[in-house]
A and B are shown apart, each in its own frame.
Chain A
Amino acid sequence: TSFCYEPCFSTQVLPATCAQPVRGYYVDWRMLRDVKRRKLAYEYADERLRINAIRKNSILPKELQEVADKEIAALPRDSCPTRLRNRCVLTSRPRGVRRRWRLSRIVFRHFADHAEMSGIQRAMW
């Protein structure tokens, strides 16, 4: 995480050595936080799945399930997948985002009108 005034998250590819232009900054801080949550969620995904398998069980004893509840609560809060919000990739708009293109409706309409979306046509019937 960076402490500068712009929401720049350290990417894997160093921008200095890369020849092509790379976006080094996120649109806003909310997008940055969303990115961090996604990374943590990826790390703890397996553990969460296994502990939940123990919890959501009718065979194992309840004491074991209570212990599992406590364990999963002890994990970092940002590792929970429910905290992720599918924001627009370009504008970071939280609502009106089409999942297939990861774009908000306004950006999608902009590109579609300029014929920059492959296979998209104005509907008429």
Chain B
Amino acid sequence: STSSVLSAEKDEFTTSKDGTTEVASKSQEGKAETPKQKLLDIIGNMKVEVSYRKKLQDLKTRQIKKQATNNLEGLDSGGTMLQKTTEDTQRGKRLNPELVEAAAAVASSLPLNKKQTESELLAQLRRHEETTDKQKKGGTINLRNVISEMAVKRQSRAQRGVRLSNRISLELDEDGQELRPGKFSPQSFVSRRYLSLKGGSRLNIFTKPSEETEIETALETVSSPTIWDLEFAKEIAAITAQPPRNGFEEMIQWTKQGILWEFPIDNEAGMEDDAEFHEHIFLEKHLENFPKQGPIRHFMELVICGLSKNPYLTVKQKIEHIEWFHNYFEEKKELLQEI
């Protein structure tokens, strides 16, 4: 059937109706007359209702045509019925009386509003007949009817904002000039239109892990690089390291290892002495912890004299040298006091 927007109740009714048509028809053959009369009355009532509804719908259609809006709304069942009211009234009598009886029985059995259900069921039947007739005759599909029955998905505000932003980004080029991509970037144009990172409903395929667990796992992996990880890394490095193809690559490898010096030769390669000359020579400030008189002081002054003339040690090493002597004499204080 061409109808696409249907209420859930109707779907249930159709399924139930299809199942019970045969049973109802068989059971009600004996009571044909009285129910027929009832049905005819009901149909008459229905027609009245239909006519009333028709007036309302005509008003609505006039309003819609005046506004000329693009948003289509799913018209009610009454609307779809009313579009074909003239046809329906003509074909009201063409419906199979058995089916009408069955519809009445079904409506009576259901607890909801009986008249409304009956009317809806009969409308369904009429629609089925119409479609079958059309298909037999080879009638073309009226696009207007098709579109009117279809309902358009409404965009949420977020999606609207996204689409607007996409439009804005499309209009402006990277340089700021107002150019449309057009031929130059059809793929990006298409991708931007139809694929957006922000918009769109979630597929709910992947479960979002909690942020805490993510952080914990990251910390764990960083804090404990196991031996296996190290060995694996070494294996990868060994496998990826291809033998040198020529002499240049061999020299590069040697330079990286430290076998070959870097050219042009840097005389101070490896020497990172950031200290100034006065820190090397004037080392008396480190002698504050020593006694100011006595053989130890004399000894330490000689040590400092020797260190100041030493170009091979760094300032740190010299300080360590003096510190060691300080510690040594601290340990031997008792012995020195005996003397």
Which residues on A are within 8 Å of B, measured CB to CB?
14, 17-19, 46, 50, 53-54, 57, 59-61, 63-64, 67
- B302 touching A19, Cβ below 8 Å: no
Q: Are A63 and B339 in contact (CB under 8 A)?
A: yes
| For the complex of A and B, 9 pairs with smallest distance between CB atoms | A17-B234, A59-B295, A17-B238, A59-B298, A59-B299, A19-B241, A61-B339, A60-B295, A60-B299
Contacts of B332 in A (CB 8 A): 64, 67
| A-B pairs under 8 A by CB, number | 36
Query: Do B295 and A19 touch (CB < 8 A)?
Result: no
Decide if A50 touches B299 in the complex (CB within 8 Å). no
State the Cβ distance, B298 to closest chain A Cβ, in Å. Answer: 5
Q: Determine if B336 and A64 form an interchain contact, defined as CB atoms under 8 angstroms apart.
A: yes
Q: Which chain B positions have C-beta within 8 A of A50?
A: 321, 324-325, 328
Q: In the bound complex, what is the Cα–Cα distance between A85 and B265 (angstroms)?
A: 34
**Residues of B with C-beta under 8 A to A67:** 332, 335
| B interface residues with partner A (beta carbon < 8 Å) | 234-235, 237-238, 241, 243, 295-296, 298-299, 302-303, 321, 324-325, 328, 332, 335-336, 338-339
Task: Please measure, in the bound complex, the distance between the C-alpha atom of A17 and the C-alpha atom of B241, giving whole angstroms.
Answer: 11
Q: Are B243 and A19 in contact (CB under 8 A)?
A: yes
Q: How far is the CA of A59 from the CA of B332 in the complex (A)?
A: 16
For the complex formed, measure the closest distance between the CB of B213 and the CB atoms of chain A, giving whole angstroms: 34
A19-B243, A61-B336 are known; give 11 further A-B pairs, CB within 8 A: A14-B234, A18-B238, A46-B321, A50-B324, A50-B325, A54-B328, A59-B299, A60-B295, A60-B296, A64-B335, A67-B335
Minimum CB–CB distance for B287 against chain A, Å: 15
* Chain B residue contacts of A64, Cβ below 8 A: 332, 335-336
Q: Which residues of A contact B296 (CB under 8 A)?
A: 60
A53 to B295, Cβ gap below 8 A? no
Contacts of B298 in A (CB 8 A): 59
Give the docked Cα–Cα distance between A59 and B299 (Å). 7
Q: A53 contacts which chain B residues (CB < 8 A)?
A: 303
Contact residues in A for B295 (Cβ distance below 8 Å): 59-61
